[in-house]
Every structure is written in structure tokens, then in C-alpha cells.
Amino acid sequence: MAYDDLRSFLRALDREGDLKRIKAEVDPYLEVGEIVDRVQKAKGPALLFENVKGSTMPLAMNVFGTERRLAKALGLKGPEEISEKIAGLLKPELPQGFTGFRDAFGKLASMAHVPPRHVKSGDAPVHEVVLTGEDVNLDDLPALFTWPQDGGSFFNLGLTHTKDPDTGIRNLGLYRLQRHDRRTIGMHWQIHKDSRNHAAVAAKRGEKLPVAIAFGCPPVVTYAATAPLPGDIDEYLFAGFVAGERVKMVDCKTVPLQVPADAEVVLEGWLEPGEMLPEGPFGDHTGFYTPQEPFPALRIDCVTMRRRPVLQSIVVGRPPTEDGPLGKFTERFFLPLLKIIIPDIVDYDLPEAGGFHNCVIVSIDKKYPKHAQKTMHAIWGAHMMSLTKLIIVVDSDCDVHDYREVAWRAFGNVDYSRDLTVVEGPVDHLDHASYQQFWGGKAGIDATRKLPEEGYTRDGGWPEMVSSDPETAALVDRRWKEYGL
């Protein structure tokens, strides 16, 4: 099962020797970031800084820094476990016989654990301490100044809760938060994000927007906040589905929102229409600084927390970082859903070096001329995959996760005068390479075998790949030990 809260997971890692407690005083200005960046690039342990300069609150870092740790946090053997579960739920076949009925009942039973469960304030650990008014002081929380040209100190793993003023549908998002002063934080709501839309609707109605930001949530909730779900899909339903049990929620003290009852710290406030402050620069997950821009400024009216809370954060920057395991799990989880939208896809890979959204490698079982181009345009029309800048399409016999194999196909199977597709479209808010913000050029590379109908007219058609003689390969397998190699 998934862990109910952050601290129980940290205790489990401690018992296994996969958590390093750092008792020496460390400075959140640059020093913590340098330590964490080195450890996470070395695939090192989770870190618990117990003595952070300027704060009495311990700081948990690199908690999801390896795929093994993330799987353990979510109560899974690996990402394929949920991928298979999602694929099973998507199958519409009717039960046949007792076995089919049992399988269908099992699917329904698994969904019964999905809806979040409301608990009273007195039963919520996050309400053990409540601070309001002048008692609120964000300086008590260890915010990170990670890179030399950052515009200030940031909280990088605060889970932001909002709801659509028109529909009441809530959204759980993960956005960086700049600490402007002891009671104000900047909300980096990018143009394509749901919380930005909620703020725009509230402003149009002349209303304040209630906001709650939770830190140190149950691991499955933190993961769900990173998942690129459609706006009408509740992240807490998805969290419950992954965990196999309902997430406990509690009403906030001063805003009409709910947050995880087992969170470590929660900030509550009302966003006034038009309240903006300069936010950034910030060394982002692209590995480059994003520029300073005006973003909403939230006044914090209430802080609730556990006794002796632990704050969780991450360091982002040039890959690989802690984003890596989170992105790879999302890649695997959403393959069955992507296949529903684009059934042409056999498999896909989102390289971490591309920030997961800059490049997609996709394999197809090619059936007709320009099948690769059709797949490219389908991907550019699929929700947040519309931000993809480079798509490489290969045949189904190519392992999309083997970058050497993909490179061999892309370098050798392409006539760039015919097999390169260039279009324009939306790009990520953080993209620094586009000549103007929010949109730019994209490319698709058709690295599949070419058909005569596509204009490939060379004698003999597309050549065969070089491969070993099967009988000789089997002989060498049998005699391998005799060679002494």
C-alpha cells in the first residue's frame, strides 16, 4: 500500500538506510541546492536537513530521487503496475462466464477506493497548530535560493488547491512559489495551467479566489499534483486510484477548500483580482533561467501545520533531477490513455533530457503512406502533448527506450528533404528557444521504413536490416562458455 503521510515514508527509508540525516547547519541560500543537486545526480539517498539556517523546521529533499523510491512511496512494484490497471479498466468487453464476472467485479471493487474521504478538523494532524493574522510568518519555512541568479527564495513543492468559480471543480497543481515577504508569495501560474484559468474567471466576476497550498503531503497526492490530467479530472480521484485507498481530506480553516488531512503544512489565503508582483528569475527544470514576469501575489491569512512539521521541497535545474522519476512514471501511467486517443501508438518515450515535453519518441505499426505524419499531428492535438517540439516516429520493431537504436534509425532512415515535417504551434510557457513567447516552430522526423506509395522508388524497395543467421547465433549461444570469453 502507499504511505499515508510523508513522515511514515521517511521513517521507512531511514530503516532501509536510504535516508541520510544531515545534522550540520546548512544555509538555504545556495548551499542546500548545491548539496541536493550533487546527491540527486549521483542517484543518492533521500536527505533530511535537520538544522536549516533561519528555520526550526527540518527539510526533506530528494525524496523521489530514484524510480525505486518513488515506486515504494506509491506502494507499487513499478510504473507498469498502474499502467496495466488503467488498461484493464479501459477494456469494455462484457464478462463471459464466472472468470469474466469475477474480473469485472474486481475492477468495480478497485474503483470503490477512489473518492476522497472527509475527516473532521479535530482528527486532522495538519490542524494541530493554527496560526492566523500577524502570527503568520513565512520566514519560518525553509524556502530555497537555489541558483545564483534566482530572483529570491522559492518553495518548489507546494501543492496548490483552487476551484473553478463557475463549476466548483477543484484543481490540484504544482507551481513554484516565490516568497516575497513574511505574508506574501508569488503564484507562478503559467498560461496553459488550470489555476490561472480559475483566477481569470474569478477576476472577471470581480471576486477573490480562495487558494490553499499544502506541503509535505502523502506521497501519492504529491505525485498526482504533477500528473498532466485534463481539467475535469479530479487529482484526488487519481491519487486514490493509484494508492488503492481513499485520501483523507479536511476543510480549510479560512477558505472554502479541502486539503490532505495528513499534510505537514498548509497556507491559506484569498487572491485579490489584479494583485501582481514581479516573479523570478528562476533556474527552472529546463536547465535555464526563466525571466522575471508579473504573476499573482497571494496574501497568506492562515497557516496550519502538524506539531514539529517537516517541509518537503525539490531542486530543479539541468537534468537529471528529481523530476526524472516523476516524469517517467507519468510516461508509463498514461500510455494506455494515450493509446485510446491515438490508437496508432505502440509505445512512446519522453526523454528526461528534453524536459519530458520537448521531445516524444513514438513507435507505430506502419500500415499506409504518411502514417507517421498522421501520428505526429495527432500527438500535437492531444491535450498537453500539444507543447511537444520534436516528434521522432519509428517502426514497431524499434525499442523507443533504447536511445542508441532510436538514433540509428533517425540518423539513417531519413531523407530530410522529404521526411522532415515542420509546423508552428503552442510551446511551453518556460520555453526559452522560441523567438516569441508561447508559440514557435516544431518538427517531426519520419524514421520509419518508406513505402513505394510514399515515393520511395529505389530498386528492390526498402532494404533489409543486417542481422545474424539464426542457426549460427544459436550455435554460438550453446558454445559460448567454450570460447572462454
- Kindly list the catalytic residues: 284
Query: Please, are residues 215 and 263 in contact by the beta-carbon 8 Å criterion?
Result: yes
d(CA 166, CA 182): 32
C-alpha cell at 395: 517502426
Query: Please, are residues 5 and 245 in contact by the beta-carbon 8 Å criterion?
Result: no
Provide the 10 A C-beta neighbour count for residue 453. 9
Strand 311-312: give its sheet, edge to edge.
Answer: 19-22, 46-49, 59-61, 311-312
* Residue 390 exposed, middle or buried by CB count within 10 Å (0-12, 13-18, 19+): middle
d(CA 223, CA 237): 12
Closest listed residue to residue 46, CA positions, set 78, 80, 83, 17: 17
Query: Please, are residues 273 and 208 in contact by the beta-carbon 8 Å criterion?
Result: yes
**DSSP for 127-182, written as a single string:** GSEEEEGGG--GGGS--BB-STT-SS-EESS-EEEEE-TTT--EEEEE--EEEEET
Closest listed residue to residue 46, CA positions, set 71, 19, 73: 19
Residues 6 or more apart in contact with residue 167 via CB below 8 angstroms: none
Q: What are the φ and ψ backbone dihedral angles of 280, each rounded to 5 degrees? A: 90, -175
Q: Extract the runs of DSSP E, i.e. beta strands, from 6-52.
A: 19-22, 46-49
